[in-house]
Structure 1
Amino acid sequence: MTSVLVTGGSGRLGRVLLEQLAEAGHDVRATSRTARASGDGVRWLVADLTTGQGPAEAVRGAEVVVHLATAPYKGRYTRAVELDGTSALLAAAREAVVRHFVYVSIVGVDRVAWGYFRTKVHAERLVREGGVPWTIVRATQFHEFVDQTLGSMARFGVLIADPGIPAQPVDVRDLAAHLVALTERGPSGGTLGESGPDDGVEEFGGPQVLTMAELAESWLRARGLRRPLLRLRVPGALGRAFRAGHLTTKARPAGAITWADHLSGR
């Protein structure tokens, strides 16, 4: 049994990871900015990564920290969570002599010039230099994120997709299972000075690569919606990076739950 602390435990991935860790028999704790009732094998602790209040107490006694907490596209708050929060958590983990710090990032984060991605790259650098044995897991986009994006567009009466952009959505259940395995396996990256800039960085994606147009078409069929699908190229450097396949990975192992499985509710 391993003592594991999870930040961001109330998110899509976090909820599934907590459940799987508890089922695997680990001692599981999770952080929240407000008090939550413990139960179902999870002990909740109050910690605010943006203020530095609570991480030291939460980390004390943990052998592994899985850092999922994030706040994308919220300006200064995003940076506070990703950078200040990660720094505070690493300091606490270093003091507590945590043996493995797992940080979840995004496939293509180092190859796509996007503001949020740049922030994630900065946070990855903090993890590499944080003085705690580490693994960075870059995952492809979640099924739920693609579903939500298409649903938002559909409310405006039309879907827009660049048919040249490949995507490889992953199910959070597959990614959670991979993270459970990592907590049991140990770190890929060493402490500062013991590994190269890319040692310890792993990628994890879904089982299929589909174009954005294919994702949209199958989504419309599964949801029983009639909406026009406009095939338009995303302009500029961002579009070129997406069409180059930077959001996909050939890494193995990979997930097993397909986009079709997600749409059918399996």
Structure 2
Amino acid sequence: MTTILVTGGTGTLGRLVAERLRADGHEVRVLSRHTQPYAVDLREGGAALDAAVEGVDTVVHCATTQTGGDEKAAARLIEAARRAGVGHLVYISIVGVEDVPFPYYRAKLAVERQVEGSGLGWTILRATQFHDLLVRLFQGLSRSPVVPLPAGVPDQPIEVAEVADRLAELAAGPPAGRVDEMGGPEVRTFDSLARAYLKATGRRRAVVGVPLWGKAYRAFRTGGHLTPERAVGKGTFEEHLARRFEG
């Protein structure tokens, strides 16, 4: 039986990865900041992190934050994994981190580089944005009578459960380096996705495209975060909305 540690194991993705791995018969440890017995702030590291990785064969690193600290957290995790003799580190990243100069994307790319240079066996999977992320975004934006969206930006959302399945598969196998990206089944305009959300939730709002500026916006407009050649996802945004709001 393989012992696998899932960081961020109570989050949207990590929770599903842990469930898949347990269903496949693996011993799974869930690490998060507030969940015992492995309640650890990765940015701090220390004895609690060493205890979490002790005896672990594989680490699936799903923990992340958009408020900063991912690089420091990865450094602490890698140091602990080396000390514990972990054989395989699996990291989930984002499509476009090399092409979109967005701060969070740059941090994800920096962590990729840390993983690649860790001296551990490693696997990196890049995926497009999850349907859940779009729902949270539209929930916030639709509180006002007008939903403002970045004009001309496409997206290719994917069902998080499909990414979880792939991560669990990768975690159960040997280190594979950079594997093929995962993109959702459709490249869509942001406004079409927003209108689908509004229809599913019964909200009447005006959707307005707002032109922005800067290198990151230009990269998003030109599809730097898309992978149409790897549109391997099956579940559509409308199907996700139907399960979530109409079921």
TM value normalised by structure 1: 0.85
Maintained 8 Å contact 1:203/1:251 = no
CA displacement at 1:201 relative to structure 2 = 5.1
User: In the alignment, what sits opposite 1:231?
Assistant: 209
User: In the alignment, what sits opposite 1:196?
Assistant: none
CA displacement at 1:103 relative to structure 2 = 1.0
DSSP-derived class of the 1:101 partner: strand
DSSP-derived class of the 1:126 partner: helix
User: In the alignment, what sits opposite 1:90?
Assistant: 78
Maintained 8 Å contact 1:163/1:211 = no
Change (3 A) 1:186 1:234: farther
> Is it true that 1:49 corresponds to 2:37 in the alignment?
no
Maintained 8 Å contact 1:31/1:58 = yes
Question: Which runs of 5 or more structure 1 residues have no equivalent in the other structure?
Answer: 37-43, 190-199
CA displacement at 1:181 relative to structure 2 = 0.9
Maintained 8 Å contact 1:7/1:67 = yes
Change (3 A) 1:34 1:140: same
User: In the alignment, what sits opposite 1:161?
Assistant: 149
Q: Distance in 2 between matches of 1:8 and 1:202?
A: 23
Identity among equivalent positions (%) equals 41
1:65 maps to a residue whose letter is V
Maintained 8 Å contact 2:186/2:231 = no
User: In the alignment, what sits opposite 2:29?
Assistant: 29
CA displacement at 1:35 relative to structure 2 = 4.7
Q: Distance in 1 between matches of 2:224 and 2:215?
A: 12
1:3-152 to 2 correspondences below 5 Å: 3-36=3-36, 44-53=37-46, 54-72=48-66, 74=67, 78-79=68-69, 82-152=70-140
User: In the alignment, what sits opposite 2:219?
Assistant: 241
Maintained 8 Å contact 2:185/2:231 = no
Q: Distance in 1 between matches of 2:229 and 2:71?
A: 27
TM value normalised by structure 2: 0.92
Maintained 8 Å contact 2:152/2:209 = no
Maintained 8 Å contact 2:38/2:52 = yes
User: In the alignment, what sits opposite 2:188?
Assistant: 210
DSSP-derived class of the 2:123 partner: strand
Maintained 8 Å contact 1:109/1:120 = yes
CA displacement at 1:107 relative to structure 2 = 1.1
Maintained 8 Å contact 1:158/1:230 = yes
CA displacement at 1:236 relative to structure 2 = 2.9
Change (3 A) 1:232 1:265: same
Q: Distance in 1 between matches of 2:57 and 2:243?
A: 35
> Is it true that 1:258 corresponds to 2:236 in the alignment?
yes
Change (3 A) 1:34 1:159: closer
> Is it true that 1:184 corresponds to 2:172 in the alignment?
yes
CA displacement at 1:225 relative to structure 2 = 1.0
DSSP-derived class of the 2:181 partner: strand
CA displacement at 1:163 relative to structure 2 = 5.3
Q: Deviations over 1:36-94 (max 9, x none)?
A: 3xxxxxxx42322121122221111111100111111x2xxx22xx1221111111212
Alignment size in residue pairs: 243
1:234 maps to a residue whose letter is L
Q: Which contiguous aligned blocks of 4+ residues in structure 1 show a shift greater than 6 angstroms?
A: none
Maintained 8 Å contact 1:135/1:202 = no
Maintained 8 Å contact 1:233/1:239 = no
RMSD of the alignment, in Å?
Answer: 1.7
Maintained 8 Å contact 1:124/1:136 = yes
Q: Deviations over 1:186-217 (max 9, x none)?
A: 2122xxxxxxxxxx254212122111111011
